[in-house]
Amino acid sequence: MKIVVPVKQVAALDDECELLGDGSGVDPDGLEWELNEWDTFSLEAALALREAAGEGEVVAITVGDEEAEEGLLSALAKGADRGLRIWDDELAGAAPDALAVARVLAAAVGRESPDLVLCGVQSSDAVNSATGVALAGHLGLAHVAVVKGLERDGSALTVERELEGGLVERLRVALPALLTIQTGINEPRYATLRAIKQARQKPLELQTLADLGLDGAQVASASGSRRRRLAPPDRGGGAEMLDGSIAEVAARIASLVKERLG
Amino acid sequence: MAGILVLAEARRGELREVSFELIGAALELKPYAGDRLVVALLDAGAPGHAAALAADGVDEVLTVTVPVAQFEAHVAGRALEALIEQEAPELVIAAHSIDALGFAPAVAASQGLGFASDVTGLGWDDGGPVAMRGAYGDKLIAEYDFPGKSCTLLLLRAGTFAAVDAGPGSAPARAVELELSELARTEHLGYEEVAEGDVDITKADFLLSIGRGIEEQDNIAQFKELAQRFGATLSVSRPLVDAGWMPGARQVGQSGKTVKPRVYLALGISGAVQHLAGMRTAETIIAVNTDPEAPIFSVAHYGAVVDMFELADELEQALG
């Protein structure tokens, strides 16, 4: 069983982050990078399926610059068999959106002909919740989004789709398929120090757009949107902030609660 | 090629409230988009909802009676493609819902549509739609346009746009026949409700809610006790349920319960969109977080940037 797990190294804003003067982006010095939380769950699901089957291969794929290599190494340390990073000068500065990334991933994943593709539901920085299902659209793969339970049953999967308001739908889907995986579906493993060292010995390939038979224009036309501007949110009135010592804040909260409960 | 197509939603025979928010949002843009607004529903019982969807300002309601009893992503995807081919709207508005996320991005990708999800603001500029959405975990707002796209599909965040009243308005309904047989690629096995615990947090007047700031399972006990002394019911945000530390029945948020207590005291909850969706209408929201930029402060009435554990110690003393 071959499982492809697309992952993303995500950016979080640190406390001192600043917008670029023209509003086109964020000063990279104000960003902290880590493997997207949702992708730790999709990776764990893939590793567990491989282990249960007693055979198979888990391939981690990312679209990103050198920062993204850390995310792949982390996936390899946890147990992925090999990694593929796709990057190209044509992607740098283009800030590819979810559909553009899905187009690039489609070219790479299509060549792998996997039995299963497991994506995270969303990335914590862009929160599009779209890349995985868009990838399925490009590949014509059967897909289920927002999966919180997963069992293999021969050549099919029984999955639980998490709906709004605590409702869950159980459904069956035949392989090959693509699922987007929700947090909480499993308990992602940590890599041992030894595994982290050994991860660098595992195959990690770098491919360009040309290697995948793509060019910058094709990726640009697959893009669904153009970001015009980035700005601080309008916080509206916002909260009235309670100042003073911790004892004063506590006393104020206690009296507010009492007052509001009447 | 003009007009707006709104994709309404139903589940288990009921229209979802977000449908009327989508119509409300679309009405704002209608004058710019060829002054035509069509609402479509893809559902086995679609014709039965046509009158309700004929809200004031809607020009036509399209009912697509799909050959599956429950939502099915591949059937819905093909139906949307066919509607876009047939009706040629320049803008399609759907919900940023679990169902729509299951097929809309695939349609956008395969059809080369303009696309944005989790949209919280709309505009019109330079002859086309403009969408606003959060970036970097809602700490920033990004604005998008869709140059060169003949059709753009936007998924709107629920609870953000004002809903219109249900019809019946004067809009006629039209049954649209589409070839949708043999398209389902998933088989519905059943629904399950989250198991109800010993408590119904939606009935509580006062919720003391804890989140990721709790850090360790062992720390929960202190807040259980604090809630009890405070006369509050303990609720939690998603990470505590994901970790298996608390039952799903205590979870506030999009995938948990929507609550509207008189007082919501949030300790160590940063306020992800999905959490805010479940508590933003509480009468009084008091938020405590060590991160002054935490999104929860944007919906809170009162806020304090202090450590939740130090605060808990002080509250225990204050309560005697």
**Is residue A251 within a helix (H) or strand (E), and if so which, with residue range?**
helix A246-261
CB B165 within 8 A of CB B151: no
What's the pTM value of the predicted model, to 2 decimals? 0.89
Q: Tell me: do B152 and B231 sit in the same domain.
A: no
In a domain, B299, yes or no: yes
Residue B193's pLDDT is: 84
Q: Tell me: do B54 and B122 sit in the same domain.
A: yes
Q: Which of A11, A167, A177 sits opposite B193 (nearest CB)?
A: A167
Rounded to whole angstroms, what are the CA distances from A70 to A124, B100, B297? 17, 33, 33
**CA nearest to A19 within chain B:** B140
CATH code for the domain of A98: 3.40.50.620
In a domain, B293, yes or no: yes
Structure tokens at B76: 């819905």
Q: Decide if A228 and B145 are in contact by the 8 Å CB cutoff.
A: yes
Confidence category of residue B59, pLDDT binned at 50, 70, 90: very high
Average per-residue pLDDT in chain B? 94
Average pLDDT score over residue span A163-187: 95
Give B221's Cβ-side CA count (13 Å radius): 1
Average pLDDT score over residue span B56-75: 97
In a domain, B57, yes or no: yes
Tell whether the model's pLDDT for residue A236 goes beyond 70.
no
Q: Decide if A146 and B310 are in contact by the 8 Å CB cutoff.
A: no
In a domain, B189, yes or no: no
Please spell the DSSP secondary structure of A138-173, one letter per residue: HHT-EEEEEEEEEEEETTEEEEEEE-GGGEEEEEEE
A107 vs A14 pLDDT, higher one:
A107
Q: Decide if A137 and B77 are in contact by the 8 Å CB cutoff.
A: yes
In a domain, B194, yes or no: no
Nearest to B269 by CA among B300, B247, B243, B242: B300
Average pLDDT score over residue span B230-236: 95
Contacts of residue B187, Cβ cutoff 8 Å, sequence gap at least 6: A171, A172, A173
Tell whether the model's pLDDT for residue B210 goes beyond 60.
yes
Q: Tell me: do B81 and B224 sit in the same domain.
A: no
Q: Decide if A234 and B257 are in contact by the 8 Å CB cutoff.
A: no
Q: Which residues of A touch B248 (CB under 8 A)?
A: 166
Query: Domains in chain B: how many in total?
Result: 2
Distance CA B258, CA B18 (A): 14
Strand order in the sheet with A142-153: A204-207, A82-86, A57-63, A2-6, A116-120, A177-181, A142-153, A156-162, A167-174, B186-193
Residue A30's pLDDT is: 66
**CA nearest to B306 within chain A:** A246
Percent of chain B with pLDDT over 90: 84
In a domain, B185, yes or no: no
Nearest to A218 by CA among A143, A138, A117: A138
CB A144 within 8 A of CB A158: no
Contacts of residue A77, Cβ cutoff 8 Å, sequence gap at least 6: A191, A195, A196, A198, A199
Q: How does A189-217 read in b/e, with b if 16+ C-beta sit within 10 Å?
A: eebeeeeeeebeebebeebebeebebeee
Confidence category of residue A17, pLDDT binned at 50, 70, 90: low
| Cα B10-B135-B73 angle, rounded to 5 deg | 25
Q: Which of B137, B149, B186 sits opposite A173 (nearest CB)?
A: B186
Contacts of residue A172, Cβ cutoff 8 Å, sequence gap at least 6: A153, A156, A157, A158, A159, B186, B187, B189
Q: Tell me: do B295 and B157 sit in the same domain.
A: no
Tell whether the model's pLDDT for residue A142 goes beyond 90.
yes
Give the range of the structural domain holding residue A104, as residue numbers without chain letter: 2-261
Residue among B132, B286, B319 with most chain A CBs within 10 A, to mutate: B286
Distance CA B104, CA B96 (A): 9
Q: Decide if A230 and B109 are in contact by the 8 Å CB cutoff.
A: no
Average per-residue pLDDT in chain A? 92
What is the least distance, in Å, from the CA of B119 to any CA of chain A? 10
A186-223 pLDDT, tens per residue?
999 999 999 999 999 999 999 999 999 999 999 999 99
Residue B230's pLDDT is: 92
Tell whether the model's pLDDT for residue A13 goes beyond 70.
no
Query: Domains in chain A: how many in total?
Result: 1
Cα–chain-centroid distance for residue A101? 12
Count CB pairs under 8 A between chains A and B: 279
Distance CA A29, CA A14 (A): 9
In a domain, B186, yes or no: no
Q: Tell me: do B205 and B168 sit in the same domain.
A: no
Average pLDDT score over residue span B105-118: 97
Give the range of the structural domain holding residue B146, as residue numbers without chain letter: 4-175
What is the least distance, in Å, from the CA of B170 to any CA of chain A? 32
Average pLDDT score over residue span B207-232: 95
Q: Tell me: do B168 and B306 sit in the same domain.
A: no
CB B213 within 8 A of CB B275: no
Could you count the other beta carbons within 10 Å of the beta carbon of residue A262? 6
Q: Tell me: do B265 and B308 sit in the same domain.
A: yes
Q: Tell me: do B206 and B312 sit in the same domain.
A: yes
CB B44 within 8 A of CB B66: yes
ipTM of the complex: 0.91
Average pLDDT score over residue span B161-189: 94
Q: Is any Cβ of chain B less than 8 angstroms from the Cβ of A170?
A: yes
Polymer length of chain B: 320
Residue B293's pLDDT is: 86
Distance CA A213, CA B274 (A): 39
Residue B2's pLDDT is: 82
Q: Tell me: do B15 and B164 sit in the same domain.
A: yes
Strand, coil or helix: A241: strand
Residue A14's pLDDT is: 65
Residue B296's pLDDT is: 93
Distance CA B255, CA B253 (A): 6
Average pLDDT score over residue span A78-95: 92
